[in-house]
Amino acid sequence: MARPKITIVGAGNVGATVAQRLAEKNYYDVALVDIVDGVPQGKALDLSQAGPICGYDSHLAGATSFDVSDGSAVVVITSGVPRRPGMSRDELLTTNATIIQGVVNEVAKRSPDAILVMVTNPLDAMAYVAHRVSGFPKRRVLGMAGVLDSARFRAFIAAELNVSVENVQAMVLGGHGDTMVPLIRYTTVAGRPIDEWLPKERLDALVKRTREGGAEIVNLLKSGSAYYAPSAAVVEMVEAILKDEKKILPCAVRCDGEYGIQGLFVGVPVKLGRGGAEEIIEYRLTADERAALMTSAAAVKELCEAVDRLTAGT
Ligand SMILES: NC(=O)c1ccc[n+]([C@@H]2O[C@H](COP(=O)([O-])OP(=O)(O)OC[C@H]3O[C@@H](n4cnc5c(N)ncnc54)[C@H](O)[C@@H]3O)[C@@H](O)[C@H]2O)c1
């Protein structure tokens, strides 16, 4: 049986690292597509030459043409531009929404049964655009953010308590931005609630650091943003889908009434399997948690309305 094919659009930091992580699984074939001629071809060739050393036979192909993506089971979309000095949020939104429209048009006609995993920021708005442009059922369009935000929170907690990251369970919901909602009541270390491990001030500090986790890395790197943890998060989602794991992870999916959210892509717990986002799991939330999630959803709504306004007629 042929290996499942995964296309990664955008062979930059996140895309190329996703390609490397997937190739090393020795279970998938990987196609890399980028607009800059030579980059996807060069990175795919370099990665294939690591195969004999790392012990994988994964087939890697790179191209500027989307033909290489034909028949993909999953398409991971990382193409976009970062915000440059002097560029407004609206300009970034318009530029990336235009890129996503073009890319999704191409991949949707070549891989009509694919599951789309969106990565490009602003994440929740780009997932909304991808869903609209592809015409795919909503369970086949997902955004990666919650797995990354939860991993950051888990890493900070593990370091604070000097315990294994494997003991720490956490779920960060909401939009991928300042309004994200770490669910403290559902955060546990070896099954014990986090508030029995840490005083409120320390927990608040870790929540703040999680919210600002992306910016902390941007400030350290000076150019570019995080990609090791983001690529690991993408791969966890892709594997949960293609191995039909039924794993529950926080993902940006379209809510139509769940959690009281209407017609928006927001991070919620989702069961992932071969069908994509097979089920949204509704946790019982307190009034405060629900209010925080609604505030986050309102921020996402504003972005989606801006996308509709800015891309009208394109
Ligand atoms: N959702 C998350 O949690 C998360 C985490 C990290 C990064 N991101 C986002 O992912 C995106 C990629 O980040 P990165 O660090 O890899 O950036 P990068 O600049 O290294 O890579 C982006 C790539 O996209 C390519 N590209 C641009 N337009 C294209 C087009 N029309 N078709 C094909 N390729 C095109 C560029 O040439 C570049 O190689 C950014 O929007 C970033 O903000 C999101």
Q: Report the relative pairing of strands 74-77 and 115-118 from DSSP bridges.
A: parallel
Would you state the pLDDT for residue 313? 63
Atom 43 of ligand 1, residue of closest alpha carbon: 121
- Res 1: pLDDT: 66
Torsion of CA 281, 284, 285, 290, to 10 degrees: 60
Q: What is the pTM of this model?
A: 0.97
**Amino acid 256: pLDDT:** 97
Name the residue of 121, 228, 251 to mutate for ligand 1: max ligand atoms within 8 A of Cβ: 121
- Ligand 1 near 9 CB (within 6 A): yes
Q: How far apart are CA 121 and CA 105, in angstroms?
A: 18
pLDDT tens for 165-184 read: 999 999 999 988 888 999 99
Q: How far apart are CA 1 and CA 160, in angstroms?
A: 46
Reported as a pLDDT band with limits 50, 70 and 90, residue 84 is confident
Give the whole-angstrom CA distance, residue 269 versus residue 47. Answer: 33
Question: Is 144 a pocket residue for ligand 1 (Cβ < 6 Å)?
Answer: yes
Q: What angle do CA 270, 127, 291 make, to 5 degrees?
A: 60
How confident is the model at residue 108, as a pLDDT? 98
CA distance readout (Å), 67 to 61, 98, 106, 122, 265:
11, 20, 9, 27, 29
* Minimum CA distance residue for ligand 1 atom 30: 35
**Contacts (Cβ under 8 Å, ≥6 apart) of 28:** 3, 4, 5, 6, 22, 58, 238, 242
Per the prediction, the chain carries an average pLDDT of: 95
DSSP state for residue 162 in the 8-state scheme: T
176 lines ligand 1 (CB under 6 A): yes
Distance CA 109, CA 106 (A): 6
Contact yes or no for 62/42 (Cβ under 8 A)? yes
Q: What is the pLDDT of residues 100-159, one digit of tens each?
A: 999 999 999 999 999 999 999 999 999 999 999 999 999 999 999 999 999 999 999 999
Condensed to tens digits (0 to 9), the pLDDT of residues 189-242 reads 999 999 999 999 999 999 999 999 998 999 999 888 999 999 999 999 999 999
